Structure 1
Amino acid sequence: MPVTFDTATIAGTALWAIAFYLGCSPLADRTITTFEGWLGAGSPAASLLSIVPFLLVGGLAYYGLTISLGGSWAVSLGVISAIGCGVYELGRRDGQASE
């Protein structure tokens, strides 16, 4: 079965990657720090490369949901997850700021 990269696949993978990136922001920060150690402090490439693991996990989540529920559900759940993780991240940062 060949893998096709249509707009729904790209959108679904990106939405799930954003959800995982926001939902696991301490892990994302450690990933950026690791890449900065390899590439140099303050490197913009470190920030760009730090999203790659989340894109891979997001692609797997999208692919698994597409197989089990269908493509439209995978994108819809990606939107819901991205919004939910964004709200969670805002609350987490607000809680850290008030401590």
Structure 2
Amino acid sequence: MLPNYQDTMQEILPFRFELDKILIAGSCLWSLALYLAFSPVGEWVTEQLNRWFNFAERSLYTSQTEFEKTRKARESQNAFYASLFSIVPFIIAGILFNWVIKISLSDSWGISTGMLACMGAGIYQLGRRDGDYSD
């Protein structure tokens, strides 16, 4: 028989904490819906973060030759980090959207409306890309 996960964590940590699964699921769904619906904003945030990371890293080097030697690898790494960090504003907005729905309606409505928002944003994104492609 497998040990219970809660009991194992209780042995490792001297305190107990609860994660609200409904809050996490609803917030993630709303974050995804906002990321899909406002994808040009996400691309702009990624570009700005990439520019900032490249600028900040440039200030760490004193020699131009050493900077140019590893430039391509560092710019690729900065682009990766920028794409990862670009979701943070959408996660914060998703948490706020889910919190407002939780207060105004109830817990389970955050997941339901998040699913509907994801479907609507996905359909909108398909239509927007099709319109861009046909132009």
TM-score by length of 1: 0.91
Match of 1:87 in 2: 123
Deviates more, 1:31-40 or 1:13-22: 31-40
- Give aligned pairs, total: 96
- Displacement, 1:37? 0.6
Q: Give the Cα–Cα distance (whole angstroms) in 1 for the partners of residues 24 and 84 of structure 2.
A: 17
Match of 1:59 in 2: 95
> Greater Rg, structure 1 or structure 2?
2
Q: Following TM superposition, by how much is the alpha carbon of 1:5 offset from its aligned partner in structure 2, in angstroms?
A: 3.5
TM-score (norm. length: structure 2)? 0.68
Q: Distance in 2 between matches of 1:5 and 1:89?
A: 32
CA deviation after TM superposition for structure 1 residue 74, in Å:
1.1
- RMSD (Å) for aligned C-alpha atoms: 1.2
Residue 106 of structure 2 is aligned to residue 78 of structure 1:
no
Per the alignment, residue 33 of structure 2 pairs with 19
For structure 2, the residue ranges without an aligned partner over 5 or more in a row are 1-17, 55-74
Deviation track 1:10-65 (CA, whole Å, cap 9, x = no partner) reads 11111000111111111111011011111234421111100000000000000010
Matched, 1:8 2:44: no
Distance 1:5 1:18 in 2: 20
Alignment of 1:40-51 (within 5 A): 40=54, 41-42=75-76, 43-51=79-87
What is the rounded CA distance, in whole Å, between the counterparts of 1:8 and 1:36 in structure 2? Answer: 33
Q: Percent identity?
A: 41
Measure the CA separation in 2 of the matches of 1:53 and 1:69.
24
Residue type at the aligned position of 2:92:
L
TM alignment of 1:31-46, pairs within 5 A: 31-40=45-54, 41-42=75-76, 43-46=79-82
CA distance in 2, matches of 1:10, 1:45: 23
Amino acid at match of 1:75: I
Counterparts of 1:14 and 1:49 in 2: how far apart (Å)?
15
